[in-house]
Amino acid sequence: MRRLAFLFTALAVASGAQAAEPRVAIAIHGGAGTMSRAALTPEAEKAIRADLDRALDAGHQVLVAGGPALDAVEAAVRVLEDSPRFNAGRGAVYNAEGVNEMDAAIMDGHSLAAGAVAGVHRVRNPIGLARAVMEKSRHVMLVGDGAEAFGRSVGIEMVEPSYFGTEHRRRQLEEAQAKERAQPRAALPASAYFGTVGAVALDAEGHTAAATSTGGMTNKRWGRVGDAPIIGAGTYAAEDCAVSATGWGEFFIRLAVAYDICARAAYRGDSVAEAATEVVMRRVPGLGGDGGVIAIDGQGRIAQPFNTPGMYRGWIAADGSRGTAIFADAEE
Ligand code: ASP
């Protein structure tokens, strides 16, 4: 009898384990901004979607193998940093001096460990350096030459600054500077920053993570740092919530956007999707800013609201369904 009871329990555990498939999910973005269908050639669109798919696969493979969300978001962001089509790593926008100056951050929602770098210009994958700051230093955020000296000391790959440059971004800088000369006080166009990258994920342990990497805004000056590397502004992860943002960073910093979304969910009981929508569709434009976020909750539910005409984005949901999209309308 005892043996039968044991057998029954063992079977129940086995079938229970089968029913409770680990619920893993990942979402990524490649930046929000002004982007018209007319300006996007079919070839460019295909290449962008292929990069988004590769990034999704890189992150999702980690998750289905039982790896941590932290590894998944780093893997996804590295793919996008290495692509010249996004404003992060290779292909980053130029600052006013014609230099690519990059910011990145990564955060683990379970331990609340975080690492960030700002103003680096020789680090091939700024997200890897942010992770090293988190795991191998006593600090959360390092900037400029100091961040790079630390990176060298822990074996982070460095490249010549020319590695990051592209013709396309050079032209964008020239256009931005010509516009600024013509209208010195004009607002920055949203197209000045399209292309930041980010990822959020939920792993089989139920832990979340977020990562964001960017070249910031075209024609930025004086060591300007955006929201991406600021924990709580462009990047945040907590027990049941992770957020990565893209958009006009100054507004995201002032509204502590990523933290506000997770705090609304934790303290007010809003769903992460409701919180993300409220902050992105009301709070950010209410102050005069624009952009979007990707967010995930502790069940792997994904939200990707944005208030710009487009946001490069992709997802693999907890049920395995996947997609990539660019514009606001659904028929993509
Ligand atoms: N949020 C970034 C920044 O302000 C730019 C972007 O999202 O494209 O630096």
The CATH number of whichever domain residue 155 belongs to comes to 3.60.20.30
Secondary structure of 8-72 as H, E, C letters: HHHHHHHHHHHHCCCCCEEEEEEEEECCCHHHCCHHHHHHHHHHHHHHHHHHHHHHHCCCCHHHH
Which tens digits make up the pLDDT trace of 72-117? 999 999 999 999 999 999 999 999 999 999 999 999 999 999 999 9
- Ligand 1 mean position to 157 CA, how many Å? 24
Tokens coding 215:
């070249």
Which residues pair with residue 209 across a beta bridge? Answer: 108, 201
Q: Who's near 126: CB < 8 A, 6+ residues apart?
A: 81, 88, 89, 102, 103, 104, 117, 120, 213
71 touches 78 (CB < 8 A): no
196 tagged catalytic? yes
Which tens digits make up the pLDDT trace of 116-170? 999 999 999 999 999 999 999 999 999 999 999 999 999 999 999 999 999 989 9
332 residues of the chain, pLDDT tens digit each = 444 443 434 444 444 444 456 689 999 999 998 777 878 889 999 999 999 999 999 999 999 999 999 999 999 999 999 999 999 999 999 999 999 999 999 999 999 999 999 999 999 999 999 999 999 999 999 999 999 999 999 999 999 999 999 998 999 999 989 988 887 766 655 455 568 999 999 999 999 999 999 999 999 999 999 999 999 999 999 999 999 999 999 999 999 999 999 999 999 999 999 999 999 999 999 999 999 999 999 999 999 999 999 999 999 999 999 999 999 875 45
Does any domain span residue 4? no
Is 249 close to ligand 1, i.e. is its CB under 6 Å away? yes
Task: Give the position, in ligand 1's atom list, of the atom nearest the Cα of 215.
Answer: 9
CB atoms within 10 A of CB 258: 35
Which residues pair with residue 197 across a beta bridge? Answer: 213
In the block, which residue shows the tokens 């409770």? 20
Domain that holds residue 312: 25-325
- Ligand 1 mean position to 248 CA, how many Å? 5
- Quote the pLDDT of residue 182: 86
- Ligand 1 mean position to 29 CA, how many Å? 12
CB atoms within 10 A of CB 31: 27
Does any domain span residue 14? no
- Quote the pLDDT of residue 1: 41
Does any domain span residue 126? yes
Q: Is 226 annotated as a binding residue?
A: yes
The whole-angstrom separation of Cα 78 and Cα 126 is 9
Does any domain span residue 8? no
Separation in Å, CA 85 to CA 66, 120, 133: 30, 19, 26
Does any domain span residue 19? no
- Quote the pLDDT of residue 179: 87
Tokens coding 122:
């020789």
- Per-residue b/e over 271-293, b at no fewer than 16 CB within 10 Å? bbbebbbbbbeebbeeeebbbbb
- Reported as type and span, the H/E element at residue 322 is strand 322-327
Task: Give the position, in ligand 1's atom list, of the atom nearest the Cα of 103.
Answer: 9
The whole-angstrom separation of Cα 236 and Cα 256 is 10
Does any domain span residue 179? yes
Q: Is 249 annotated as a binding residue?
A: yes
Domain count, the chain: 1
DSSP-derived letter for residue 282 is I
Which residues pair with residue 199 across a beta bridge? Answer: 28, 211
Q: Is 235 annotated as a binding residue?
A: no
Q: Who's near 283: CB < 8 A, 6+ residues apart?
A: 255, 257, 260
Within the chain, residue ranges assigned H as helices are 2-19, 42-64, 69-82, 126-136, 144-153, 167-182, 249-254, 257-263, 272-278, 284-287
Is 308 close to ligand 1, i.e. is its CB under 6 Å away? no
Is 227 close to ligand 1, i.e. is its CB under 6 Å away? yes
- Quote the pLDDT of residue 3: 44
Residue 112's region, left for phi above 0, alpha for psi from -120 to 50, else beta, is: left
Does any domain span residue 107? yes
Does any domain span residue 278? yes
